[in-house]
């Protein structure tokens, strides 16, 4: 089904229902179709790239702490292996769906191509509620999920990493389970591992660090100054808290932070290291003394220079895009903006740093981890950060120059650049013979 033909008949007019609008796979497909049509993409390559290469569905039995047995459904979708092994995180959430994982997998393909690293795209997800599971239950689920995927993952096939509600401990369990099956330690099967077992220095902070570098570039591109530039960040998990921390350390004024259960605002700026400490102890941002509590949905529409959505998909839709009052939207999350909202933001003149560029610092550092594991030689944190910055800055400049040259917005420029690179390799390899 063509998403574009439904939604873009009069320019990109929002004729989708809200349910269609917030379907991440449709959101991905709509941007793909628009970019592919502007590229005059070969119809055969179009067909190949508009569907995932492989979709794996597993049902994972797990003995729970009370002795009962639960069966969890998990997915791993490999969208493309054209430019290298599939690469992408694993997410644990009650909201996981096959369409979401499909979208996230294809975004990984485009993201790796935008930053020009030698990977394809994949993503995994398990439908579960990690907030209500013990460490033991999470470990057993992770190990069986890994065992079910054993022949589909590997350093040269598909290399998972953390995403929402997974972390370096999850990666350690996957690495160990894979290694048990292979009868030898294989560190490069996953990235985002603890540093003592082959993880890369800097990986935990890399996505947020990369988002902060993208804010620097956007500010420079618009002739603004860091001093006095205000930022609101949605989500205070791995990406949001590290973005806020790096922006705070660089001298930005972080005026707002939202979480799923509350939000904080201080027009003079929030002390982010103090908030991180508070959250560690209290388990929530609510009640932090250095800011007032405000409504979380209203906060993202308050005036600020930069808005960083760093939580879930669909934070910005046709329902609230018109109300945004930021100059720059720098997307830490995957898919925070719907296709319909894109046009509204463009009409408002908001400078968008799209997800497949803005949050690519994580996978770029994962690439460094995979390289270091395969060499068995590890870089200093300064070396990692320097290489990360070089790739992020170059990619930003590539996308912005492409947008200017082709008279498209930054998001479509990023898709066009990525699709062109993946299409070229797919054709060169002849991945249809």
Ligand X SMILES: NC(=O)C1=CN([C@@H]2O[C@H](COP(=O)(O)OP(=O)(O)OC[C@H]3O[C@@H](n4cnc5c(N)ncnc54)[C@H](O)[C@@H]3O)[C@@H](O)[C@H]2O)C=CC1
Applying CB under 6 A, the residues found at the interface with ligand X are 162-165, 207, 234-240, 258-260, 296, 310-312, 332-334, 359, 362
- Which partner in ligand X, ligand AKG, none is near 191 (CB below 5 to 8 A by kind)? ligand AKG
User: Which lies closer to ligand X via its Cβ, residue 193 or residue 426?
Assistant: 193
- The CA distances from residue 336 to 83, 115, 315, 342, 351, in Å, are 26, 20, 5, 11, 15
175 binds ligand AKG (CB under 6 A): no
Between CA 358 and CA 332 the distance in angstroms is 6
Nearer to ligand X, 159 or 408 (CB): 159
| Residues composing the chain | 433
The backbone region for 84, taken as left when phi is positive above 0, alpha when psi lies in -120 to 50, beta otherwise, is left
Q: Determine which residue in the list 334, 372, 395, 426 makes contact with ligand AKG, applying CB under 6 A.
A: 334
293 is annotated as contributing to ligand binding: no
Closest by CA position to 198, among listed 388, 387, 361, 378: 378
Q: With respect to ligand X, which residue has the nearer C-beta, 88 or 198?
A: 88
- In DSSP notation, 280-338 reads HHHSSSTT-TTSEEE-HHHHTTS--SEEEE-S-S-SB-TTTGGG---SEEE--SSS-B-
Please list the residues that pair with 72 across neighbouring strands: 60
Residue choice 366, 395, 409, 426 for contact with ligand AKG (CB under 6 A): 366
312 is in an annotated binding site: no
Contact 332, 207 (CB under 8 A): yes
88 binds, among ligand AKG, ligand X, none (CB under 5 to 8 A by kind): ligand AKG
Q: Look up residue 32 and give its two tokens.
A: 């793909």
Contacts for 430 with CB less than 8 Å, ≥ 6 apart:
none
- Give the separation between CA 90 and CA 92, rounded to whole angstroms: 7
* CA–CA distances in Å: residue 427 to residues 157, 318, 361, 420: 20, 37, 28, 10
CA dist 26 and 5 (Å) reads 12
User: To the nearest whole angstrom, how small is the minimum distance from the Cβ of residue 171 to ligand X?
Assistant: 11
Question: Measured between alpha carbons, how far is 271 from 279 in angstroms, rounded to an integer?
Answer: 12
Query: Among residues 162, 112, 172, which one has the least CA distance to residue 414?
Result: 112
How far apart are CB 377 and ligand AKG at their closest, in Å?
20
165 binds, among ligand X, ligand AKG, none (CB under 5 to 8 A by kind): ligand X
The binder of ligand AKG chosen from 362, 388, 408, 426 (CB under 6 A): 362
161 lies in the site for ligand AKG, by CB under 6 A: yes
- Give the one entry of ligand X, ligand AKG, none that residue 372 binds, where binding means its C-beta sits below a cut-off of 5 to 8 angstroms depending on kind: none
Sign of torsion over alpha carbons 334, 338, 341, 342: positive
Minimum CB distance to ligand X smaller for 177 or for 243: 243
Q: Report the site for ligand AKG in 252-311 (rule: CB under 6 A).
A: none
Q: Which does 358 bind (CB under 5 to 8 A by kind): ligand AKG, ligand X, none?
A: none
Start-to-end CA span in the chain (Å): 25
Q: How far is the CB of 271 from ligand X (least distance, A)?
A: 18
Q: Is 337 annotated as a binding residue?
A: no
Shortest Å distance, C-beta 211 to ligand AKG: 11
Q: Indicate which single residue of 31, 87, 102, 246 sits in contact with ligand AKG (rule: CB under 6 A).
A: 87
The answer to whether the beta carbons of residues 189 and 155 sit under 8 Å apart is: yes
Q: How far is CA 367 from each of CA 86, 280, 322, 382, 393, rounded to the nearest angstrom? A: 11, 29, 37, 16, 17
135 CB neighbour count, 10 Å cutoff? 9
Q: Whole-number minimum distance, CB 315 to ligand X, in Å? A: 7
In the shown chain, the binding pattern of residues 184 to 223 toward ligand AKG, with x for contact by CB under 6 A and - for none, equals: -------xx-------------------------------
Q: Is 6 annotated as a binding residue?
A: no
Residue 313 is a binding residue for ligand AKG (CB under 6 A): no
Q: For this structure, is 123 an active site residue?
A: yes
Q: Active-site residue among 11, 38, 47, 123?
A: 123
Task: Give the pairing of strands 230-234 and 86-93.
Answer: unpaired
Is 207 assigned to a binding site? yes
Q: Return the number of the residue (146 or 334) whose C-beta is nearest ligand X.
A: 334
Which residue is closest to ligand AKG by CB? 89
Find tokens 């590229």 and name the residue: 39
Candidates 24, 52, 88, 240: give the one binding ligand AKG (CB under 6 A): 88
Q: Does 121 bind ligand AKG (CB under 6 A)?
A: no
Active site members: 123
**Known binding-site residue numbers for substrate:** 87, 111, 366
Where along the sequence are the contacts to ligand AKG (CB under 6 A)? 87-89, 111, 161, 163, 191-192, 334, 359, 362-363, 366
**Known binding-site residue numbers for NAD(+):** 207, 238
């Amino acid at each position: 089904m063509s998403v574009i033909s439904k939604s873009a008949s009069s320019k990109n007019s929002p004729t989708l229902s809200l349910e269609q609008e917030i379907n991440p796979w449709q959101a991905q497909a709509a941007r793909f179709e628009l970019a592919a049509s502007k590229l005059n993409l070969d119809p055969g390559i179009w067909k190949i790239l508009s569907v995932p290469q492989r979709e794996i569905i597993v049902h994972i039995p797990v003995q729970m702490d009370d002795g009962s047995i639960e069966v969890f459904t998990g997915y791993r979708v490999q969208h493309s292996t054209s430019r290298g092994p599939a690469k992408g995180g694993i997410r644990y959430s009650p909201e996981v769906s096959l369409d979401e994982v499909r979208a996230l997998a294809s975004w990984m393909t485009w993201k790796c191509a935008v930053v020009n690293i030698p990977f394809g795209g994949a993503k995994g997800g398990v439908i579960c509620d990690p907030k209500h599971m013990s460490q033991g239950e999470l470990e057993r689920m992770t190990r069986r999920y890994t065992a079910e995927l054993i022949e589909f993952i590997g350093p040269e096939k598909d290399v998972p990493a953390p995403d929402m509600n997974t972390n370096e401990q999850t990666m350690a369990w996957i690495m160990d389970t894979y290694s048990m099956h292979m009868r030898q330690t294989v560190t490069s099967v996953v990235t985002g591992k603890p540093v003592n077992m082959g993880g890369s220095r800097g990986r935990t902070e890399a996505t947020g660090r990369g988002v902060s570098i993208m804010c620097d570039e956007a500010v420079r591109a618009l002739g603004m100054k860091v001093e006095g530039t205000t930022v609101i960040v949605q989500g205070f998990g791995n990406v949001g808290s590290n973005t806020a921390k790096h922006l705070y350390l660089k001298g930005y004024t972080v005026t707002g932070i939202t979480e799923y259960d509350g939000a904080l605002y201080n027009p003079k700026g929030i002390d982010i290291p103090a908030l991180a400490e508070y959250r560690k102890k209290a388990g929530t941002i609510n009640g932090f003394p250095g800011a007032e509590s405000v409504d979380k949905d209203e906060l993202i529409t308050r005036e600020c220079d930069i808005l960083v959505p760093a939580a879930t998909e669909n934070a910005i839709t046709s329902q609230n895009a018109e109300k945004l009052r930021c100059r720059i939207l720098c997307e830490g999350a995957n898919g925070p903006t719907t296709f319909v909202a894109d046009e509204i933001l463009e009409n408002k003149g908001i400078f968008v740093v799209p997800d497949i560029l803005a949050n690519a610092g994580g996978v770029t550092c994962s690439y460094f981890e995979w390289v270091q594991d395969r060499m068995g030689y590890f870089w200093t944190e300064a070396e990692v950060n320097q290489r990360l910055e070089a790739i992020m800055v170059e990619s930003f400049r590539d996308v912005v120059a492409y947008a200017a040259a082709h008279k498209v917005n930054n998001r479509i420029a990023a898709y066009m650049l990525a699709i062109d690179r993946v299409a070229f390799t797919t054709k060169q390899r002849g991945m249809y013979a």
